[in-house]
């Protein structure tokens, strides 16, 4: 299997002999340089031990801190104040929009290895059209947090066989959490064979009328991602066990996905979200209830107290290396 980005290639497979043979064949056709085992790729760094592989962006984070004159700033291990709600702050003076967009663009790329900052970066990205001083200070606070946690990375545990593994999925929504337009923020987190492979923190496209509706729509959006991941794993010749288990902490949303008992309250929900019921009836998706304490996706939907944030960050496999 070859992962190609412009002229950078990653080659992987089950047999080292076949990998070496493939590289030799490619070298006969193209002018190529073999850089050995994977250690750096598009700003992503990989550190290996006997039992784990750590994915991090320590070098890229350092470059970002230098670029925005934050290398000598006071570091912090606290990402945000609990229950902090940002608004447009129209009464404040505007800041340089170009600078703000550059910072946010860099932070969004760092989200590839640091899912713990996804929610905060997503919230601040909503103000790029007219950023204020409060928004810029909040963005710089994320840079201070990254400096204080620069040795954190995504941890992948080595496994000898992941055939038949299942997708572990958590999904959550913060009903009507965005004060400006009262749309909900939803998030999901996906693990495969114990490794984090996909996550998201995003504002929903419509205004929901209840927490049940917000959770139900979030589950439908997450299911779309699960189906895409299932197809991707199939292309990679990896079997994914069915049904895919989706962990939700709202029992009403689970009941709505199984039957029509709430039809009078749900008939206004867009048709595109109701395909979730068909998949549940077909046995491809199974919604399971989980306690809020173990709802990992909670970190993608709201500002949390430090102890709660730290516990969920650990569940994301974001650890020091």
pLDDT by residue (tens digit) across 160-190? 665 557 899 999 999 888 878 889 999 999 9
Residues 6 or more apart from 15 whose CB is under 8 A from it?
none
The rounded mean pLDDT for the chain is 89
Do 167 and 284 lie in one domain? The reply is yes
% of the chain with per-residue pLDDT over 90: 61
Do 173 and 284 lie in one domain? The reply is yes
User: What pLDDT score was predicted for residue 262?
Assistant: 56
> 268 pLDDT band (50/70/90 cuts)?
low
The three-point CA angle 301-307-312 to 5° equals 50
**Within-domain flag for 52:** no
User: What pLDDT score was predicted for residue 310?
Assistant: 94
Do 167 and 147 lie in one domain? The reply is no
Query: How many domains does the chain fold into?
Result: 3
Residues 6 or more apart from 135 whose CB is under 8 A from it?
86, 89, 95, 100, 124, 127
DSSP letters, 281-321, are HHTSEEEEE--GGG-GGGGGTS---HHHHHHHHHHTTEEE-
Instruction: Evaluate if residue 38 carries a pLDDT over 70.
Output: yes
Domain boundary among 152, 182, 214: 152
Domain boundary among 108, 132, 152: 152
Q: Residue 6 sits in which domain range?
A: 2-36
Do 92 and 191 lie in one domain? The reply is no
pTM: 0.89
User: What pLDDT score was predicted for residue 177?
Assistant: 80
Do 263 and 195 lie in one domain? The reply is yes
User: What's the CA gap between 8 and 70, in Å, rounded?
Assistant: 31
DSSP 8-state secondary structure symbol assigned to residue 57: -
Domain boundary among 116, 131, 152: 152
Do 230 and 278 lie in one domain? The reply is yes
Do 78 and 195 lie in one domain? The reply is no
CA nearest to 297, candidates 207, 186, 217 = 186
User: What pLDDT score was predicted for residue 83?
Assistant: 65
Q: What is the mean pLDDT of residues 129-154?
A: 95
Instruction: Evaluate if residue 265 carries a pLDDT over 70.
Output: no
Residues 6 or more apart from 290 whose CB is under 8 A from it?
170, 247, 248, 249
% of the chain with per-residue pLDDT over 70: 93
Between these two residues, 163 and 11, which has the higher pLDDT value?
11
């Amino acid at each position: 299997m070859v992962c190609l980005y412009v002229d950078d290639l990653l080659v992987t497979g089950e047999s080292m002999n076949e990998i070496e043979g493939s590289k030799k064949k490619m070298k006969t056709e193209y002018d190529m340089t073999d850089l050995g085992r994977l250690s750096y790729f598009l700003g992503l760094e990989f550190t290996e031990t006997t039992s784990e592989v750590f994915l991090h962006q320590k070098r890229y984070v350092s470059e970002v801190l230098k670029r925005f004159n934050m290398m000598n700033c006071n570091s912090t291990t606290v990402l945000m104040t609990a229950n902090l709600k940002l608004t447009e702050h129209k009464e404040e003076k505007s800041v340089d929009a170009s600078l703000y967009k550059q910072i946010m663009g860099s932070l969004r790329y760092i989200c590839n290895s640091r899912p713990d900052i996804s929610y905060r970066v997503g919230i601040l990205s909503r103000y790029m059209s007219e950023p204020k001083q409060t928004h810029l200070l909040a963005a710089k606070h994320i840079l201070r947090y990254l400096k204080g946690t620069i040795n954190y990375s995504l941890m992948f545990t080595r496994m000898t066989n992941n055939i038949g593994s299942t997708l572990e999925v958590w999904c959550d929504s913060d009903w009507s959490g965005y004060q400006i337009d009262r749309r909900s923020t939803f998030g999901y987190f996906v693990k495969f064979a114990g490794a984090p492979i996909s996550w998201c923190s995003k504002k929903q496209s419509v205004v929901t009328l209840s927490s049940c509706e917000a959770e139900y729509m979030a589950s439908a959006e997450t299911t779309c991602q699960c189906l895409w991941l299932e197809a991707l794993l199939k292309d990679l010749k990896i079997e994914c066990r069915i049904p895919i288990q989706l962990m939700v902490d709202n029992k009403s949303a689970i009941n709505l996905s199984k039957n029509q008992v709430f039809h009078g309250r749900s008939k206004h929900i867009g048709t595109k979200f109701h395909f979730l019921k068909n998949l549940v009836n077909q046995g491809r998706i199974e919604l399971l209830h989980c306690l809020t304490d173990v709802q990992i996706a909670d970190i993608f939907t709201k500002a949390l107290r430090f102890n709660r944030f730290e516990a969920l960050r650990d569940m994301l496999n974001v650890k020091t290396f």
